[in-house]
Amino acid sequence: MLKEKIAEIKTKSFAEIEKTASEQMLYDVKVKYLGRKGKLTEILKNLKNLDEKKRKTVGALANRIRMEIENAIAKHGREMSEKVDWEKEAIDVTLPGKKQELGHLNPITLVQRDIEKIFTSMGFEIADGPEVELERYNFDALNFPKDHPARDMQDTFWVKSKKESLVLRTHTSPVQIRYMEKHKPPLRIVAPGRVFRNEATDAKHEHTLHQFEALMVGDDISVGNFKYIAQQFFTIFFGKETQIRLRPSFFPFTEPSFEFDISCSICGGKGCRTCKQAGWIEIGGAGMVNQNVFAAAGYPKNKYQGFAWGFGLERLAMMKYKIDDIRWIESGDLRFIKQF
C-alpha cells in the first residue's frame, strides 16, 4: 500500500512540476510534497510506526523519491530561468524617465517673499502676531472707538470666549501694539499675515485675506520717510520707476491719515483700462501713528513719531500677475496655481 502511495506521489508531483511556470508555483509544489506537512514528509514521519523490515524498504524508497523530486524541481527551475526572454526583461536605459511633479507656490507666498526681501534689505525686521486676537489689540489699542462700525458682528468674526473678548484679527495692525509693548524706538518692522472679514465674496472680496503692515518709529520719522520708502518698495517690487501720490483720509490709528496711490504699473501713468484712464491706482492706507496708539503700547505721548501703512497682498498679487478674480487665490484650483 505504502509503496503504491509513494509511486503515486512521484507521478503526481512530476506532472505538477512540469506544469509550473514561475518560481512561486515551483515553490508551492515543493511545499505540497516536501514541506513540513508535505505528502512525502508525512510518510517519512510515520516510518517509525512500521516494523523493522518494512521501515527499511519503504524508508529507502521514500528517500529516493524525495531526492528525485528535489532534482526535478531544481532542473525545472533551471529550465525556466533559461527560457527567460532577456531582451524583453532588460531595462531600456534610453527611455525617458518619469517626471517628478513639483509643487507651485501660491502667488500670495511669492508676493510675501518679495515684500520680506525688499523690506529686510531696507533694515526692517519681520514681526508676527496671532490670527485669533484680543479685541483690545485689534480695536481698543488702535484707537477704535467703542461704537466703531468695524466692531460690528456683520464685519468681524467674533470668537466665543469666557475670559477676554476675542476676534479673528481684521487687520495686521495689532502686531504694531504687540511689538511696541516689547521694544523701544527706534524701530522698523514689517508684519505680513492672514486677516479675516465677515464678508460675502465676489470678484473683489474675500473673507480670508493677506495683509502687510509696515511700521517705522523714531524721534523724527516723517511723512517724507514714508514716501521715500514706499516709492523705493514699489519701484523694486514692480521692477519699474513708480510714483506715489497721497490723498487725505481718516483711520483711527493714524493722524494725519492718507490713502496712497501709485502710478499705474501697466501704462506708467498715461492712462489705460487697468487704471481706468487715471494713470494712478489706489493701493492702501497709511499715516503718522496716532499718539493714542503709542500711549496704548506704553510709550509716553508726544515723545516719538512714526508712520504705519498697510495693504492687501491679494491686491498686489493681482496687479503683478494680472489676476482678474480674487477668488482664484484661495481656490486651490491646480489650473490656476500651476501658472506660478
Task: Candidates 12-20, 64-72, 79-87, 269-277: pick the segment binding Zn ion (CB under 5 A).
Answer: 269-277
C-beta of 319: minimal distance to Zn ion in Å? 10
C-beta of 239: minimal distance to Zn ion in Å? 16
- For 276, which DSSP code? T
What's the sign of the alpha-carbon dihedral 252, 253, 255, 261?
negative
Task: Candidates 16-24, 240-248, 275-283, 284-292: pick the segment binding Zn ion (CB under 5 A).
Answer: 275-283
251 bridge partner residues: 254
- Compare residues 130 and 271 and give the one whose CB is closer to Zn ion: 271
- Compare residues 29 and 275 and give the one whose CB is closer to Zn ion: 275
Q: Which residues in 120-139 contact Zn ion (CB under 5 A)? A: none
Decide the pairing of beta strands 187-196 and 125-126: parallel
206: which 3 cell numbers?
Answer: 474675500
C-beta of 277: minimal distance to Zn ion in Å? 8
> Should residue 275 be labelled a site residue for Zn ion when binding is judged by CB under 5 A?
yes
Q: What angle do CA 258, 263, 268 make, to 5 degrees?
A: 175
- Compare residues 243 and 274 and give the one whose CB is closer to Zn ion: 274
- Compare residues 35 and 268 and give the one whose CB is closer to Zn ion: 268
Q: Is 225 exposed, middle or buried (0-12, 13-18, 19+ CB in 10 A)?
A: middle
Rounded distance between C-alpha atoms, residue 209 and residue 197, angstroms: 8
> Should residue 319 be labelled a site residue for Zn ion when binding is judged by CB under 5 A?
no
**Out of 110, 246, 267, 323, the residue judged to bind Zn ion by CB under 5 A:** 267
C-beta of 294: minimal distance to Zn ion in Å? 38
Contacts of residue 121, defined as CB under 8 A and 6 or more positions apart, other chains included, come to: none
Instruction: Give start and end residues of each alpha helix (H) in 239-310.
Output: 291-296
**Out of 223, 266, 295, 337, the residue judged to bind Zn ion by CB under 5 A:** 266
Binding mask 1-40 for Zn ion (x = CB under 5 A): ----------------------------------------
C-beta of 244: minimal distance to Zn ion in Å? 15
**Out of 191, 264, 297, 308, the residue judged to bind Zn ion by CB under 5 A:** 264
Rounded distance between C-alpha atoms, residue 268 and residue 272, angstroms: 9
Rounded distance between C-alpha atoms, residue 95 and residue 90, angstroms: 12
246 bridge partner residues: 260
**Out of 272, 295, 323, 337, the residue judged to bind Zn ion by CB under 5 A:** 272
How many CB atoms sit inside 10 A of residue 43's CB? 19
Site residues for Zn ion per CB under 5 A: 264, 266-267, 272, 274-275
